[in-house]
Amino acid sequence: MDGQENAGLHGERGIVDRRESILRRLDQSGIPLLLVRLILAATFIYMGAMKVREPFDFLKQVRMYHMLPESPPIYLNATAIVLPWLEIIAGLALIGGFAVRGAAAMLGIMLCVFTPAIFLRALSIQAEKAISFFQVVFDCGCGTGPVVIWTKLLVNIGLLALSVIALVSQSRRFCPMAWLEGRPPDPSS
């Protein structure tokens, strides 16, 4: 019996090891991280630029979440000034391959704040208008104008997953910072 159990355990462990090995090799190829970086960078640079282009629209949207006090106004105003540029800077860092984990962490933190805030605001609009959650449409201040909120929430969850991938990836291929520091592009390869 013990021999059979051991054989079974070894078999399962072997499958897990093989999967980990495949994932590790895939990660070490640098391709998944590169794709993730490009998607996140394009998304956040675009959304940040849209907010920078219309700063007062973004200021109004930030206010609508009621997450910050209106008085003194410095909190709302500073948030409207800084947030879009944080998105752009993080996007540029990702696309340039500098401070990738820091940029991914920054975007992840922002998404962890924005997504529940959008969800709660959607719930309040749903209750106010007595409509289905799937019918809730509003300008979430994301830089894309009025959107169907349940799709926006799904997109945000997807972006959060990509941020986590960028954060935990061990690969340093296609990252100029690793070259500048004199490290091999991919230490584990």
Partner 1 sequence: MNAFTRTSIELLVLGLVGIAVSFGANAVRETGFIKLTKDYFDKGNPGNKTKPDGVALPADDSSSVATPGASMQSGRPASSSLSGGGVSTHLQHGYQEISFDDVVGILNDPQTAQGLNILVDARKADLFNEGHIPGAIHCDPYEPQASIETVLARANGVEKVIVYCGGGDCEDSVFMCRELIEASVPNETIFVYPGGWSEWTAKRMPVSTASEE
- Does residue 140 bind partner 1 (CB under 8 A)? no
- Based on the shown chain and the rule CB under 8 A, indicate whether residue 68 belongs to the binding site for partner 1: no
Kindly tell me which of 13 and 53 has the beta carbon lying closer to partner 1. 53
Question: Could you tell me how many residues of this chain bind partner 1 (CB under 8 A)?
Answer: 37
Closest CA to 170 of 39, 27, 18: 27
**Under rule CB under 8 A, residue 160 binds partner 1:** no
Shortest distance, position 109 Cβ to partner 1, whole Å: 8
DSSP states along 79-122 = HHHHHHHHHHHHHHHHHHTSSHHHHHHHHHHHHHHHHHHHHHHH
User: Can you tell me which of 96, 150, 167, 186 binds partner 1, judged by CB under 8 A?
Assistant: 167
Interaction of residue 4 with partner 1, rule CB under 8 A: no
Of the candidate spans 10-18, 83-91, 111-119, 153-161, the one that interacts with partner 1 by CB under 8 A turns out to be: 83-91
- Give the count of beta carbons closer than 10 Å to the beta carbon of residue 124: 12
Closest listed residue to residue 87, CA positions, set 61, 107, 116, 63: 107
DSSP helix/strand/coil, 187:
coil
Is residue 181 involved in binding partner 1 (CB under 8 A)? no
Q: Does 162 help bind partner 1 (rule: CB under 8 A)?
A: no
- All residues at 6 or more sequence positions from 172 whose CB lies less than 8 Å from its CB, including other chains: 30, 178, 183, 184, 185, 186, 187
Give the residues lining the site for partner 1 (CB under 8 A).
52-57, 59, 63, 70-74, 76-78, 80-82, 84-86, 88-90, 93, 99-103, 105-106, 125, 128-129, 167
